Amino acid sequence: MKKRALVLGAGGFIGSHMVKRLISEGYWVRGVDLKHPDFSDTVANEFVTGDLTDREFMMRVIHFRGESGNFYGPVPFQYEEPFDEIYQFAADMGGAGYIFTGEHDADLMHNSALININLLSCQKEMNESYPRLLQPVPDAVGKTKIFYSSSACMYPEYNQLDPDNPDCREDSAYPAAPDSEYGWEKLFSERLYLAYSRNHNFDVRIARYHNIYGPEGTWYGGREKAPAAICRKVAYATSGDSIEVWGDGLQTRSFLFIDECIEATRRLMEGTWTDPINIGSEEMVTIDQLVDTAAKVANKEIGKDHIDVPHTGVRGRNSNNDLIREKLGWDYSTTLEEGMSKTYNWIMSQITKDMFPVDAEHDITGKKYLSYGNCGK
Protein backbone atom coordinates (compact mmCIF):
# COMPACT_ATOMS: atom_id res chain seq x y z
CA MET A 1 0.00 0.00 0.00
CA LYS A 2 1.26 3.46 -0.88
CA LYS A 3 2.36 5.75 1.92
CA ARG A 4 0.12 8.78 2.23
CA ALA A 5 1.50 12.27 2.78
CA LEU A 6 -0.14 15.61 3.47
CA VAL A 7 1.82 18.70 2.39
CA LEU A 8 0.63 21.99 3.85
CA GLY A 9 1.91 24.99 1.91
CA ALA A 10 2.10 22.88 -1.25
CA GLY A 11 1.54 25.93 -3.43
CA GLY A 12 4.69 27.57 -2.13
CA PHE A 13 8.32 27.21 -3.11
CA ILE A 14 9.59 24.48 -0.78
CA GLY A 15 6.22 22.73 -0.47
CA SER A 16 5.76 22.33 -4.22
CA HIS A 17 9.24 20.82 -4.53
CA MET A 18 8.49 18.42 -1.68
CA VAL A 19 5.31 17.28 -3.45
CA LYS A 20 7.38 16.42 -6.54
CA ARG A 21 9.89 14.48 -4.45
CA LEU A 22 7.25 12.46 -2.61
CA ILE A 23 5.40 11.60 -5.83
CA SER A 24 8.69 10.42 -7.33
CA GLU A 25 9.09 8.11 -4.32
CA GLY A 26 5.67 6.57 -4.85
CA TYR A 27 3.65 8.40 -2.20
CA TRP A 28 -0.01 9.36 -2.52
CA VAL A 29 0.03 13.12 -1.82
CA ARG A 30 -2.60 15.66 -0.87
CA GLY A 31 -1.35 19.22 -1.31
CA VAL A 32 -3.05 22.12 0.45
CA ASP A 33 -2.58 25.86 0.15
CA LEU A 34 -4.36 29.14 -0.49
CA LYS A 35 -3.20 28.91 -4.09
CA HIS A 36 -1.70 26.54 -6.62
CA PRO A 37 2.04 26.76 -7.35
CA ASP A 38 2.89 29.91 -9.27
CA PHE A 39 5.32 28.53 -11.82
CA SER A 40 4.34 24.93 -12.59
CA ASP A 41 1.36 22.63 -12.35
CA THR A 42 1.11 20.63 -9.16
CA VAL A 43 1.77 16.90 -9.43
CA ALA A 44 -0.10 16.13 -6.18
CA ASN A 45 -2.70 13.36 -6.44
CA GLU A 46 -5.14 15.78 -4.86
CA PHE A 47 -4.74 19.54 -4.41
CA VAL A 48 -7.13 21.43 -2.14
CA THR A 49 -7.27 25.22 -1.87
CA GLY A 50 -8.37 26.82 1.36
CA ASP A 51 -7.42 28.77 4.46
CA LEU A 52 -5.50 26.71 7.03
CA THR A 53 -6.19 29.30 9.72
CA ASP A 54 -9.80 28.02 9.57
CA ARG A 55 -9.94 25.10 12.01
CA GLU A 56 -12.89 23.41 10.31
CA PHE A 57 -10.99 23.44 7.02
CA MET A 58 -7.89 22.06 8.75
CA MET A 59 -10.02 19.29 10.26
CA ARG A 60 -11.14 18.21 6.80
CA VAL A 61 -7.56 18.41 5.55
CA ILE A 62 -6.15 16.21 8.33
CA HIS A 63 -8.49 13.27 7.85
CA PHE A 64 -7.45 11.11 4.94
CA ARG A 65 -10.48 10.28 2.79
CA GLY A 66 -9.09 7.79 0.34
CA GLU A 67 -8.04 8.16 -3.26
CA SER A 68 -11.57 8.65 -4.52
CA GLY A 69 -11.48 12.41 -4.04
CA ASN A 70 -14.21 12.67 -1.42
CA PHE A 71 -12.56 15.55 0.44
CA TYR A 72 -15.68 17.67 0.23
CA GLY A 73 -17.97 15.14 1.92
CA PRO A 74 -20.50 16.43 4.45
CA VAL A 75 -19.63 17.32 8.03
CA PRO A 76 -19.73 15.53 10.40
CA PHE A 77 -17.82 12.86 8.55
CA GLN A 78 -16.55 9.44 9.48
CA TYR A 79 -12.88 9.37 10.43
CA GLU A 80 -10.68 7.38 8.13
CA GLU A 81 -7.06 6.29 8.41
CA PRO A 82 -4.57 9.05 9.29
CA PHE A 83 -1.79 10.18 6.99
CA ASP A 84 1.58 8.50 7.33
CA GLU A 85 3.43 11.81 7.11
CA ILE A 86 2.53 15.49 7.33
CA TYR A 87 4.83 18.25 6.06
CA GLN A 88 4.04 21.70 7.44
CA PHE A 89 5.50 24.47 5.25
CA ALA A 90 2.51 26.85 5.37
CA ALA A 91 3.36 30.27 6.85
CA ASP A 92 2.95 33.98 6.32
CA MET A 93 6.42 34.99 5.23
CA GLY A 94 8.62 36.73 2.69
CA GLY A 95 11.98 38.40 2.22
CA ALA A 96 13.53 41.15 4.31
CA GLY A 97 11.40 43.80 2.66
CA TYR A 98 8.30 42.09 4.04
CA ILE A 99 9.41 40.63 7.36
CA PHE A 100 11.54 43.38 8.85
CA THR A 101 9.54 46.55 8.26
CA GLY A 102 7.32 45.85 11.27
CA GLU A 103 4.21 46.57 9.22
CA HIS A 104 3.21 42.89 8.97
CA ASP A 105 4.21 41.62 12.43
CA ALA A 106 0.68 40.94 13.72
CA ASP A 107 -0.36 39.04 10.58
CA LEU A 108 2.91 37.09 10.45
CA MET A 109 2.58 35.91 14.03
CA HIS A 110 -1.19 35.37 14.09
CA ASN A 111 -1.53 33.49 10.81
CA SER A 112 1.48 31.23 11.18
CA ALA A 113 0.84 30.39 14.83
CA LEU A 114 -2.82 29.66 14.15
CA ILE A 115 -1.98 27.26 11.33
CA ASN A 116 0.32 25.32 13.65
CA ILE A 117 -2.17 25.30 16.52
CA ASN A 118 -4.91 24.08 14.17
CA LEU A 119 -2.72 21.33 12.75
CA LEU A 120 -1.66 19.97 16.10
CA SER A 121 -5.06 20.17 17.77
CA CYS A 122 -6.80 18.53 14.81
CA GLN A 123 -4.18 15.80 14.62
CA LYS A 124 -4.62 15.20 18.36
CA GLU A 125 -8.33 14.67 17.73
CA MET A 126 -7.48 12.25 14.93
CA ASN A 127 -5.09 10.36 17.22
CA GLU A 128 -7.74 10.05 19.88
CA SER A 129 -9.94 8.36 17.30
CA TYR A 130 -7.22 5.76 16.92
CA PRO A 131 -6.09 4.73 20.43
CA ARG A 132 -3.18 2.75 18.98
CA LEU A 133 -1.61 6.04 17.90
CA LEU A 134 -1.39 7.21 21.51
CA GLN A 135 0.51 4.18 22.78
CA PRO A 136 4.29 4.27 23.20
CA VAL A 137 5.18 2.23 20.13
CA PRO A 138 8.82 1.26 19.42
CA ASP A 139 10.29 3.45 16.68
CA ALA A 140 6.92 5.24 16.44
CA VAL A 141 5.50 2.49 14.22
CA GLY A 142 2.00 3.36 13.07
CA LYS A 143 2.10 6.99 14.14
CA THR A 144 1.83 9.99 11.84
CA LYS A 145 5.19 11.70 11.46
CA ILE A 146 4.90 15.49 11.41
CA PHE A 147 7.58 17.74 9.93
CA TYR A 148 7.72 21.43 10.88
CA SER A 149 9.77 23.91 8.88
CA SER A 150 11.33 26.36 11.30
CA SER A 151 13.90 28.98 10.39
CA ALA A 152 17.35 30.25 11.29
CA CYS A 153 15.58 33.53 12.10
CA MET A 154 14.86 32.06 15.55
CA TYR A 155 18.53 32.28 16.58
CA PRO A 156 19.52 35.08 19.01
CA GLU A 157 20.52 38.39 17.50
CA TYR A 158 23.42 38.72 19.97
CA ASN A 159 25.14 35.69 18.39
CA GLN A 160 24.92 37.20 14.91
CA LEU A 161 26.49 40.64 15.36
CA ASP A 162 29.91 39.67 13.99
CA PRO A 163 29.54 39.09 10.22
CA ASP A 164 32.70 36.97 10.18
CA ASN A 165 31.82 34.67 13.07
CA PRO A 166 28.08 34.12 13.60
CA ASP A 167 27.06 31.36 16.01
CA CYS A 168 24.10 29.31 14.75
CA ARG A 169 24.72 26.02 16.50
CA GLU A 170 21.49 24.35 17.56
CA ASP A 171 22.39 24.67 21.25
CA SER A 172 22.96 28.43 20.92
CA ALA A 173 19.23 29.21 20.71
CA TYR A 174 18.89 30.24 24.36
CA PRO A 175 18.66 32.70 26.03
CA ALA A 176 16.19 33.52 23.26
CA ALA A 177 16.49 36.85 21.45
CA PRO A 178 15.41 36.66 17.78
CA ASP A 179 15.71 39.92 15.85
CA SER A 180 12.17 39.79 14.39
CA GLU A 181 8.63 38.80 15.29
CA TYR A 182 8.89 36.22 12.50
CA GLY A 183 11.76 34.60 14.40
CA TRP A 184 9.86 34.71 17.70
CA GLU A 185 6.88 32.96 16.11
CA LYS A 186 9.16 30.27 14.69
CA LEU A 187 10.70 29.72 18.12
CA PHE A 188 7.28 29.55 19.78
CA SER A 189 6.03 27.04 17.20
CA GLU A 190 9.12 24.86 17.67
CA ARG A 191 8.31 24.68 21.37
CA LEU A 192 4.65 23.98 20.57
CA TYR A 193 5.53 20.95 18.42
CA LEU A 194 7.96 19.67 21.05
CA ALA A 195 5.31 20.10 23.77
CA TYR A 196 2.83 18.03 21.74
CA SER A 197 5.54 15.43 21.33
CA ARG A 198 6.09 15.23 25.10
CA ASN A 199 2.48 15.54 26.26
CA HIS A 200 0.58 13.76 23.47
CA ASN A 201 3.10 11.27 22.07
CA PHE A 202 3.45 13.02 18.70
CA ASP A 203 6.28 11.97 16.39
CA VAL A 204 7.75 15.28 15.21
CA ARG A 205 10.74 16.48 13.20
CA ILE A 206 11.90 20.12 13.13
CA ALA A 207 14.33 21.71 10.68
CA ARG A 208 15.81 25.17 10.98
CA TYR A 209 16.12 26.22 7.34
CA HIS A 210 18.87 28.63 6.26
CA ASN A 211 17.92 30.73 3.22
CA ILE A 212 16.56 28.21 0.75
CA TYR A 213 16.64 29.29 -2.92
CA GLY A 214 16.34 27.94 -6.43
CA PRO A 215 14.08 27.65 -9.48
CA GLU A 216 10.34 28.20 -9.02
CA GLY A 217 10.83 30.46 -6.02
CA THR A 218 9.23 33.90 -5.87
CA TRP A 219 11.46 36.28 -7.82
CA TYR A 220 9.60 39.60 -7.89
CA GLY A 221 6.94 41.54 -5.99
CA GLY A 222 8.48 42.17 -2.57
CA ARG A 223 8.50 38.71 -0.93
CA GLU A 224 11.43 37.26 -2.85
CA LYS A 225 14.68 36.22 -1.18
CA ALA A 226 18.12 37.60 -1.92
CA PRO A 227 19.34 35.12 -4.56
CA ALA A 228 16.19 35.53 -6.67
CA ALA A 229 16.06 39.31 -6.22
CA ILE A 230 19.69 39.71 -7.21
CA CYS A 231 19.41 37.32 -10.17
CA ARG A 232 16.42 39.30 -11.40
CA LYS A 233 18.20 42.64 -11.14
CA VAL A 234 21.30 41.29 -12.86
CA ALA A 235 19.14 39.77 -15.60
CA TYR A 236 17.57 43.14 -16.36
CA ALA A 237 20.87 45.01 -16.13
CA THR A 238 23.28 45.62 -18.97
CA SER A 239 26.91 44.76 -18.41
CA GLY A 240 28.49 47.82 -16.83
CA ASP A 241 25.32 48.82 -14.95
CA SER A 242 24.98 48.95 -11.17
CA ILE A 243 22.19 47.50 -9.03
CA GLU A 244 20.99 48.63 -5.63
CA VAL A 245 22.06 46.63 -2.58
CA TRP A 246 20.63 47.23 0.88
CA GLY A 247 23.17 48.16 3.53
CA ASP A 248 26.93 48.14 3.10
CA GLY A 249 27.04 44.76 1.35
CA LEU A 250 29.26 43.27 4.07
CA GLN A 251 26.43 41.41 5.79
CA THR A 252 27.07 37.67 5.58
CA ARG A 253 24.69 34.82 4.84
CA SER A 254 24.73 31.26 3.56
CA PHE A 255 22.23 29.97 1.00
CA LEU A 256 21.07 26.41 0.40
CA PHE A 257 19.88 25.17 -2.98
CA ILE A 258 16.35 23.74 -2.98
CA ASP A 259 17.28 20.19 -4.06
CA GLU A 260 19.67 19.93 -1.11
CA CYS A 261 16.95 21.16 1.24
CA ILE A 262 14.49 18.53 0.05
CA GLU A 263 17.04 15.71 0.35
CA ALA A 264 18.02 16.71 3.88
CA THR A 265 14.37 17.02 4.92
CA ARG A 266 13.57 13.55 3.61
CA ARG A 267 16.55 12.11 5.51
CA LEU A 268 15.31 13.81 8.66
CA MET A 269 11.86 12.28 8.22
CA GLU A 270 13.32 8.82 7.60
CA GLY A 271 15.64 9.01 10.61
CA THR A 272 15.08 8.93 14.35
CA TRP A 273 16.47 12.34 15.37
CA THR A 274 13.68 14.43 16.94
CA ASP A 275 15.32 17.64 18.22
CA PRO A 276 15.51 20.79 16.04
CA ILE A 277 18.34 20.61 13.51
CA ASN A 278 19.93 23.00 11.01
CA ILE A 279 19.45 22.43 7.31
CA GLY A 280 21.65 24.85 5.44
CA SER A 281 24.93 25.53 3.69
CA GLU A 282 28.17 26.54 5.40
CA GLU A 283 29.40 28.45 2.33
CA MET A 284 29.12 31.91 3.91
CA VAL A 285 29.43 34.94 1.63
CA THR A 286 28.88 38.66 1.91
CA ILE A 287 25.93 40.13 0.06
CA ASP A 288 28.39 41.86 -2.25
CA GLN A 289 29.88 38.45 -3.03
CA LEU A 290 26.39 37.13 -3.74
CA VAL A 291 25.98 39.91 -6.32
CA ASP A 292 29.37 39.05 -7.80
CA THR A 293 28.32 35.40 -8.10
CA ALA A 294 25.14 36.34 -9.96
CA ALA A 295 27.13 38.62 -12.26
CA LYS A 296 29.61 35.83 -12.96
CA VAL A 297 26.99 33.28 -13.98
CA ALA A 298 25.34 35.96 -16.14
CA ASN A 299 28.72 36.86 -17.71
CA LYS A 300 28.21 40.55 -16.89
CA GLU A 301 30.15 43.29 -15.13
CA ILE A 302 27.81 44.59 -12.43
CA GLY A 303 28.45 47.41 -9.96
CA LYS A 304 26.76 47.97 -6.62
CA ASP A 305 24.90 51.02 -5.31
CA HIS A 306 24.65 50.56 -1.55
CA ILE A 307 21.61 52.19 -0.01
CA ASP A 308 20.85 52.80 3.64
CA VAL A 309 17.62 51.18 4.85
CA PRO A 310 16.29 50.84 8.41
CA HIS A 311 15.80 47.05 8.33
CA THR A 312 18.96 45.22 7.36
CA GLY A 313 18.67 42.27 9.75
CA VAL A 314 21.52 40.60 11.61
CA ARG A 315 25.07 41.26 10.48
CA GLY A 316 25.98 37.61 10.00
CA ARG A 317 24.25 34.25 9.67
CA ASN A 318 25.70 30.93 8.62
CA SER A 319 24.51 27.37 9.13
CA ASN A 320 26.46 25.07 11.41
CA ASN A 321 26.07 21.53 10.08
CA ASP A 322 28.02 19.60 12.70
CA LEU A 323 24.88 18.04 14.18
CA ILE A 324 23.24 17.00 10.90
CA ARG A 325 26.48 15.46 9.66
CA GLU A 326 26.71 13.46 12.88
CA LYS A 327 23.07 12.39 13.19
CA LEU A 328 21.93 12.05 9.57
CA GLY A 329 25.15 11.73 7.58
CA TRP A 330 24.04 14.61 5.36
CA ASP A 331 26.02 17.52 3.98
CA TYR A 332 25.39 19.91 1.10
CA SER A 333 27.19 19.42 -2.20
CA THR A 334 25.80 22.14 -4.51
CA THR A 335 28.06 25.18 -4.49
CA LEU A 336 26.59 28.68 -4.43
CA GLU A 337 27.82 29.31 -7.97
CA GLU A 338 26.16 26.12 -9.25
CA GLY A 339 22.89 26.93 -7.53
CA MET A 340 22.91 30.56 -8.63
CA SER A 341 23.55 29.48 -12.21
CA LYS A 342 20.46 27.26 -12.18
CA THR A 343 18.40 29.97 -10.48
CA TYR A 344 19.56 32.70 -12.87
CA ASN A 345 18.84 30.59 -15.94
CA TRP A 346 15.36 29.79 -14.65
CA ILE A 347 14.58 33.46 -13.96
CA MET A 348 15.84 34.34 -17.43
CA SER A 349 13.43 31.77 -18.84
CA GLN A 350 10.59 33.47 -16.98
CA ILE A 351 11.59 36.89 -18.26
CA THR A 352 11.84 35.72 -21.86
CA LYS A 353 8.29 34.37 -21.67
CA ASP A 354 7.28 38.06 -21.57
CA MET A 355 4.71 37.26 -18.90
CA PHE A 356 5.81 39.95 -16.49
CA PRO A 357 5.60 43.46 -18.01
CA VAL A 358 7.35 46.25 -16.15
CA ASP A 359 5.15 49.06 -14.91
CA ALA A 360 5.27 51.75 -12.25
CA GLU A 361 3.38 49.68 -9.69
CA HIS A 362 5.27 46.40 -10.14
CA ASP A 363 8.86 47.30 -10.87
CA ILE A 364 10.30 43.85 -11.46
CA THR A 365 13.54 45.36 -12.72
CA GLY A 366 13.96 45.45 -9.01
CA LYS A 367 15.20 48.79 -7.81
CA LYS A 368 12.69 49.13 -5.03
CA TYR A 369 12.26 45.46 -4.15
CA LEU A 370 15.74 44.10 -3.43
CA SER A 371 15.83 41.95 -0.34
CA TYR A 372 19.07 40.40 0.76
CA GLY A 373 18.13 37.25 2.50
CA ASN A 374 18.10 37.80 6.23
CA CYS A 375 15.09 35.54 6.55
CA GLY A 376 16.28 32.04 7.30
CA LYS A 377 13.75 30.14 5.25
Q: Is the pLDDT of residue 276 over 80?
A: yes
Q: Based on DSSP, count helices (H) and strands (E) in the chain, helices before strands.
A: 10, 13
Angle among Cα 282, 305, 163 to the nearest 5 degrees reads 30
Mean pLDDT of the chain: 87
Which residues form the catalytic set? 182
Model pLDDT, residue 65 = 62
What is the arithmetic mean of pLDDT over 278-303? Answer: 98
Model pLDDT, residue 233 = 96
Q: Is the pLDDT of residue 263 over 80?
A: yes
Model pLDDT, residue 298 = 98
- Read off the pLDDT of residues 137-160 as tens digits, 9 standing for 90 and up: 444 446 899 999 999 999 999 999
Q: Is the pLDDT of residue 17 over 70?
A: yes
Q: Is the pLDDT of residue 69 over 60?
A: no
Higher pLDDT among residues 280 and 355, named by residue? 280
Please give the model's pTM, rounded to 2 decimal places: 0.90
Model pLDDT, residue 87 = 98
Model pLDDT, residue 142 = 61
Kind and range of the H or E run holding 8:
strand 4-8
Per cent of the chain over pLDDT 70 is 83
- If pLDDT is split at 50, 70 and 90, which confidence band does 73 have? low
In 10 A of CB 62, how many CB atoms? 24
For the beta sheet containing 203-209, the strands, ordered from the edge strand earlier in sequence to the opposite edge, are 46-49, 28-33, 4-8, 85-88, 145-151, 203-209, 277-279
Model pLDDT, residue 82 = 82
- Read off the pLDDT of residues 76-130 as tens digits, 9 standing for 90 and up: 455 567 899 999 999 987 666 666 677 878 988 999 999 999 999 999 988 887 6
d(CA 149, CA 245): 28
What is the arithmetic mean of pLDDT over 276-280? Answer: 98
Mention the CATH class of domain 4-213+259-279.
alpha beta
DSSP codes joined into one string, 193-214? HHHHHHHH--EEEEEEE--EE-
- Read off the pLDDT of residues 172-197 as tens digits, 9 standing for 90 and up: 999 999 999 999 999 999 999 999 99
Model pLDDT, residue 309 = 82
d(CA 88, CA 62): 12
Model pLDDT, residue 245 = 94
Model pLDDT, residue 104 = 78
What is the arithmetic mean of pLDDT over 330-334? Answer: 97
Which of 9-23, 199-213, 306-320 bottoms out in mean pLDDT, i.e. has the lowest? 306-320
